[in-house]
Every structure is written in structure tokens, then in C-alpha cells.
Amino acid sequence: MWRILQQSEPDDYVLATGETHSVREFVEKAFAQIGIRIMWEGQGIDETGIDSASGHVRVKVDPRYFRPTEVDHLVGDPSKARSKLGWRHTVSFEDLVAEMVAADLESVAGERSRVRTTAD
């Protein structure tokens, strides 16, 4: 961000890894952070992610979240940021998922303690 603000002319930059990852891969890595291995069953709208140890369904497809003009392949192109700013990503996909899960777990823990406090 600092490098962007130092430019003499305002411009738009894409800060991205240039990699593409599926929702399925994100789900697998996120659940792995809490020790759950996800197996996939079915396909398309009927696909579910199942906890391999317990057999509980942990992930279901919800058509409400489909984009009206869904594209098959999305990837951010950071080439302009690389060439003009010398910017390169330093956080891997795995590390980003781990950071997101840790933040969610911290948030849930905070919510639970607030609920306990108000219920007492």
C-alpha cells in the first residue's frame, strides 16, 4: 500500500498471487487447519463435503451464492504491481487460509465469551 501511495500519478493496481485455487481446495485447507479431512461426494449442485472421521456433512452447495455470470477461471494479474512497484506477494495461499481460520476461531471464541457473560 505504501508503494502505491508514493506514485506521482494515481493508478489502479491488482495485488494478487497470480495463482488460481478452487473453492474445494480452500475448503479442504481450511478444515485441515482444525484437523478435519474433507471427502467429496456427489457432483454439481448435489456435491457435499463430508468429515471423513465422523461422516457428518460439513459443506453443501447453495445456489443462492452462484454469480449470475459465473466464469470458469478467475486469477488476479499482479504484473503491473510487479513492474511499476516492485511488489511481490509474500503470503502463500496456505498461510492465508491459516490466517483466516485463526481469525475466525478467535472471533468465535470472543462471541462465546460475550454470550456467557450476558447469560450469567
Residues of the chain whose pLDDT is less than 70?
116-120
Query: What is the 8-class DSSP label of residue 64?
Result: G
**pLDDT in the model for residue 91:** 95
Over residues 15-32, the pLDDT tens digits come to 999 999 999 999 999 999
Task: Kindly state the helix (H) or strand (E) to which residue 97 belongs, with its residue range.
Answer: helix 93-119
Which pLDDT does position 120 carry in this prediction? 58
d(CA 70, CA 23): 14
Q: What does the pLDDT look like over 79-93, one tens digit per residue?
A: 999 999 999 999 999
pTM score of the predicted model: 0.80
Phi, psi of 81 (to 5 degrees): -65, -35
